[in-house]
Amino acid sequence: MTRSLLIANRGEIARRIIRSARRLGVRTVAVHSDVDAAMPFVREADAAVCIGTAAASDSYLRTDRLLAAARETGAEAIHPGYGFLSENADFAEAVIAAGLVWVGAPPASIRVMGLKDAAKARMIAAGVPVTPGYLGEDQSPERLQREADAIGYPVLIKAVAGGGGKGMRRVDAADAFAEALASCRREAAAAFGDDRVLIEKYILSPRHIEVQVFGDTHGHVVHLFERDCSLQRRHQKVIEEAPAPGMDPATRGAVCDAAVKAAKAVDYVGAGTIEFIADGSEGLSADRIWFMEMNTRLQVEHPVTEAITGQDLVEWQLRVASGEPLPKTQDQLAINGWAMEARLYAENPATGFLPSTGPLERLRFPRGLRIDSGVEEGGEVTPFYDPMIAKIIVAAPTRAAAANKLARACGKVEVWPVRTNAAFLARAAADPDFVAARIDTGFIERHADRLIPAAEPSEPVLQAAAHALLPPRGTVPWTALHGFRVNAAADLCVAVAVAGRTHLVTLTERPQATIADGVLYLAGEAWPFGPPRAGEQRRQAWCGPQYPPGQHDPRP
């Protein structure tokens, strides 16, 4: 086992690696930009080195500074985490050339699987099923149009060097192909410096199924079963789960065997993910699941695999990189229960998911869960890096129980003043179609109206705020009987200011909300509230005897 490890990454994944390394007795070195100096991962590492300014190009993407930091601190190995340089074959080769241990995939495997056309060609040769399509050398618009026509619409144009949804276009008819191709190529050239594309048959009810694989330097490869990552927004994963709903043993066996075959075809070592696209229109079946691509690194969603298998995948990475055989054989691995992960982002769904940055004056999560977070209360979400606040991970015996647990957990998140997608996540996890596993990659777009919270406070929020402003009930009848009337139902209205706007609320039942420092937290939402300013009550609407603290009867 290596004795010291430099982590060439930041935030949540750096903290995740530190936890496993500390348990194994491995000394850790954090590298950070100047704006990350006060981040938790820097404090938690055994040593830390500043490697540049906020721009990733001047810090986390600087191979020379990362290697210099390793030499300066005596690190023996480098773990790239995910993102940044984790799938950069040149960086991996530079680490190895410097005499350091690379905790990642072999550079040759990264290169082969990094280009979608080369990866698919290798998979075809290995007998792994791939999506019907064209990945030939002839990139002329005329040839690509003919191939698309032959495949049959809809088709998907994908950048050969693409990722993250960039350089990807769906085309539904032949007359729209040329324009979509030109647009796709422009985006691919700008994002990856490579405008080559491939054509695939577009699956109308697609599900994103991926298999966790692991290889060692002794020629062993195993899988740790599958994950379903179908809940996506603009090709970005939102909620992941393991195992995949509706996966029968025969189909699981076929897909996982294909994933192992794919990894062996590129002599894979370390943690990797074989991604498949499945036609879920008639349920999951081995003959309707095709290889899509391989991620040659640890995935953001790896905790759900850890939860159902009981394995520590970072520990596996460190042991394999040190030359040890895989900790488990295939027959020693089994699925136990169900797990789900939601990605909590600093973004506002009500404004089109625009990023929300700033200080984290309050950051609270429900207890008893696994929370992988890169920030903490009192810290800050900056505009320089990915705005993910945390991963909320739950495990339960059944899928229904896991979904319920995740919905409740997301609904109890308290973040202020940064806006988050917590309420959106809670609604998604509780949605009847999600609970019933009626899912595909278009789920969020299809149900956006019922998943995305409104920009205005909901009735439960207004009720909770109004109840919070009432004076405490006393023993005097005039205050104890709120809204009492002879021969009429009790009817009490309270004026309350929520998010700067005054609302008149007729009280009903009081929702269970958390209130702290003038902010109300309910169902994953956060709203500032208090009594309205003098003169803002709508006088004609008052009909009960109680008024906000410090206010008088507004009626003439």
Q: What is the pLDDT of residues 35-79, one digit of tens each?
A: 999 999 999 999 999 999 999 999 999 999 999 999 999 999 999
Across 54-67, b (16+ Cβ under 10 Å) vs e yields eebeebbbbbebbb
* CB-facing half-sphere around the CA of 453: CA atoms within 13 A: 27
Q: What is the Cα–Cα distance from 313 to 212, expressed in whole angstroms?
A: 10
Cis geometry, peptide bond prior to residue 417 (ω within 30 degrees of 0): yes
Residue 78 vs residues 60, 104, 272: alpha-carbon distances, Å: 13, 9, 17
Given 207, 297, 319, 419, the catalytic residue = 297
Amino acid at site 110: I
Q: What is the Cα–Cα distance from 272 to 267, expressed in whole angstroms?
A: 12
At 488 the pLDDT is 53
Domain 4-103 identical in fold to domain 206-451 = no
Q: Which fold has domain 206-451?
A: D-amino Acid Aminotransferase; Chain A, domain 1 (3.30.470)
How many residues in total does the chain contain?
Answer: 556
Is the Cβ–Cβ distance between 169 and 200 less than 8 Å?
no
Phi, psi of 123 (to 5 degrees): -70, -40
| Segments of the chain scoring below 70 in pLDDT | 163-164, 472-491, 535-556
Cα dihedral value 243, 247, 248, 252, nearest 10: -70
At 547 the pLDDT is 46
Q: What is the Cα–Cα distance from 172 to 160, expressed in whole angstroms?
A: 20
Burial category of 103 from C-beta neighbours within 10 Å (exposed 0-12, middle 13-18, buried 19 and up): buried
At 161 the pLDDT is 86
- In angstroms and rounded to an integer, the radius of gyration of the C-alpha atoms of the chain is 27
Helix (H) or strand (E) holding 341: strand 338-345
65 tagged catalytic: no
At 120 the pLDDT is 86
**Residue linked to tokens 């796709």:** 184
Tokens linked to 553: 């009867």
Tokens linked to 28: 């850790």
At 395 the pLDDT is 98
Taking Cα atoms as reference points, which of 420, 423, 300, 421 lies closest to residue 357?
420
Cβ-based neighbours of 515, under 8 Å, separated by 6 or more: 464, 468, 521
Amino acid at site 299: Q
Does domain 132-201 match CATH 3.30.1490.20?
yes
**Pairing of β 221-233 and β 236-242:** antiparallel
Q: What is the Cα–Cα distance from 85 to 63, expressed in whole angstroms?
A: 9
Burial category of 218 from C-beta neighbours within 10 Å (exposed 0-12, middle 13-18, buried 19 and up): exposed
294 DSSP β-pair partners: 274
Burial category of 83 from C-beta neighbours within 10 Å (exposed 0-12, middle 13-18, buried 19 and up): middle
At 487 the pLDDT is 56
- Per-domain residue ranges for the chain? 4-103, 132-201, 206-451, 459-541
For 4-103, CATH gives: 3.40.50.20
